[in-house]
Structure 1
Amino acid sequence: MNKDYLIEFNRSIISLALISALTACGGSSSSSTKTPTIAPPPAPVLIQTVIKGKAIKGTIANAVVTVYKYVDRKAVKLEDAELAASSIITEDDGSYTITLLDYDGAIKVELSVGENTTMICHAPAGCGELAHGATIALATVDPTLVLSAISTVGSDNAGTANVNISALTHLAAALIEADESGVSETTIQAHSSIIANAFNIMSSLKALEPTAVENATSVAGEDNVNELRYGLINAGIMSVLFAGQENTTGVLSDRLADVIEDIVEHNGALLVHQDDNDEGFELSLVEVLDSAGDVAAAAAQAIAADKILSTQDNSEILSELDQ
């Protein structure tokens, strides 16, 4: 046999063998290998916290509600992406609702005066030229008034939190922000307790809802002693702030600023008695408690004068008002 022909024949055999092997491998791969299915990443779970509260100094309606977080100890307004709604005002009864989106930490809820913001005068002697129970047009007489409360929100709140706003939460907020260790759950609790204990209120200031003591029906129906006391103290403070004032213009904002300056300077300590030698305005415990007593007496008289309430058994609430 021709040698060249034999070599060429062997090469052909080898080539055929390689092609058969490769074809076999390719066929096996296409029939047994499956394209893996990649599951999409899970959608992020958006944590929502619903905050509810009331603004009571008297009752404050149509106030602008702004929420702040703390960054490097400074209050920074929450971004629109952190709130379900960016425009929030209080209802006629002072209530508000805020939904925070995916936020965990300390917040400040602040009330400011808008175009139609009003407040009820619950000082028995009146508020400047306005009588007890009258409506104060804050946009006209005190447009710079601000009230606030500080709390913490997050997973521990189970999706809800109560943050009521009053004169007392405003004083506590000033102490919290002045604390050099910063705003935290510890400082919030410590300074809120200082203010609550000063007036013998045995619960959380931001969780309790002060009784609207200018309303006889609300007082008669109150079943929480601490909320009743809170409402009386709140109204007592308003009485002291307006004492001796002939009109309402700027009284609340100016005098609250004086009180805050004094209370921060003295680390939360309030005067027991008024200092007659001090020319500036000062808030004393005795004056507030005496005024709260006047508020209680006025509430009892209002219940007795009401045609419906006077026919009911109000002995328990009247006993509380008499203390």
Structure 2
Amino acid sequence: MALSKAPAVSHTRVDEGSAGQRIDNFLVRICKGVPKSHIYRILRSGEVRVNSRRVDQTYRLQEGDELRIPPIRLADKGAVAPVPVGKAFDIVFEDEALLVLDKPAGLAVHGGSGVSFGVIEQLRRQRPEAKFLELVHRLDRETSGLLIVAKKRSALTVLHDMMREGKVQKRYLTLVAGRWLNPQQHVRLALHKYLLENGERRVSVNPEGKPAHSIVRLVKRWSGYSLVEVELKTGRTHQIRVHLSHLGFPLCGDDKYGDFALNKQLEKEGLKRMFLHAAKLAFRHPLTDQAIELSAPLPAELEGFVAFVEQTREREHG
């Protein structure tokens, strides 16, 4: 019987892309398939060395650091389905620091919680030469539109700060059930996250929750439906969906917070997904400070449904 080759000690030098990252997160990323508990064990025992010295899990890597990583026997790779390369993403903007893609609906941004892979894993598979690719923010699986990915850690850090400080303008288009009357309305309703018995994540309006601010602008209105643009001033989980549903304007096709009877009817009429699209982004480039303004048109299936509503419903003005 042939024995599998024993894993050997490996040495690696930290490049610019990994500089600034905590060593525990770095090891989790490069030692795919190794449980986190094992990563922390080899750090605590001193088997991992940086420049021949022991470090704890909070150590932040610096460019040029020499790492010694002990032998680690990885899980049998045959047990894990490989990430499919998939169809190339529609890239809206790209330079050496970041890229912005137009995410299709139905694809998670990353693997986990029952999803084996997402946008970021596929992107890494499509670009094996890329040293660093990390999500700057997230979009719900059912949401389409603009998604920022950092290609340098320095860009990621600045963009995360900008997100926290509200310096990245994000605007979404959504079709809601009901007659939205105000040309512009500020919605400030605190949101609280909780879990259902099956472990699924949900969000509700709750004064004890975290502050959340959306600005809703009317784009078009028909009898029974309104197309609105929502600008996010905060980026809470399911913010648009919960804010609008709470106000009595559920998103068309929303299977978590929507009008389920209406959704069945909409499906028969051609809307087979949630109508939510990240349409516009505006921010300063994290490294050059250049102004960047990007937009992504409504996907064909949403554009087609708007055309259907236009033909079958009376347009309302004012």
- TM-score past 0.5 threshold: no
- Bigger fraction of residues in helix: 1
Q: Which has the higher contact order (CA 8 A, sep 6+)?
A: 1
Q: TM-score w.r.t. structure 1 length? A: 0.27
